[in-house]
Amino acid sequence: MRRLTEWKEAENVRFRRYLHARHQDRIAPFQIIASKVEAQIDCTACANCCREMIVEVTPAEIRAIAMHLNLSVEDVRLKHTTADPGDSSQRVLRNARDACTFLDGNLCLIYDARPGACRRFPHAHPGEHSLGARIESACRHAAVCPILYNALEEYKHQSGYHERGGSAAAYVGG
């Protein structure tokens, strides 16, 4: 999926410009499409987000994880988080073996206590207005998430966008 998305990177830039030029760069239509696509995809068949994304955790989220695992806050902080490479005052979930410390196969060991960023990913739910809920973000993360990739391709189709020379809009399952 990453190669397919990288192959479409220039097309996605042209698509964003196309939407902007037609004043169609609202996120709501994309979010509706993404919700329908999300209902068709089993995230546990993929779990790419758990392998690729950096997840910031708040002190409250660390406490919730500690309670869920019946560990001390300090144990969770030391064993399962690390300083954010971009801001050492923040903590992020530790990656071990090229995946989130809490990923077991494709399943989250702290699913019921997972951080907000994990709960909201792929940040394409109707009405969501975070920085992640923008077409630019969807294009950037389409290489990670089949929901975003497929929703983006469908949005291109529904908005009337046609890439010159044709393009492969293959459905990518999760």
Radius of gyration of the chain (CA): 18
* Percentage above 70 pLDDT, the chain: 89
pLDDT, tens digit (0-9, with 9 covering 90-100), for 62-115: 999 999 999 999 999 999 999 998 888 899 999 988 999 999 999 999 999 999
CA distance 5 to 97: 24
* For the chain, counts of helices (H) and of strands (E): 9, 7
**How far from each other are the two terminal CA atoms of the chain, in whole angstroms?**
10
CA distance 122 to 48: 11
Residue ranges of the domains in the chain?
A: 2-48+122-158, 54-120
Q: What share of the chain is helix, strand, coil (3-state, %, to 5)?
A: 50, 10, 40
User: 104: Cβ–Cβ under 8 A, 6 or more apart, which residues?
Assistant: none
pTM: 0.81
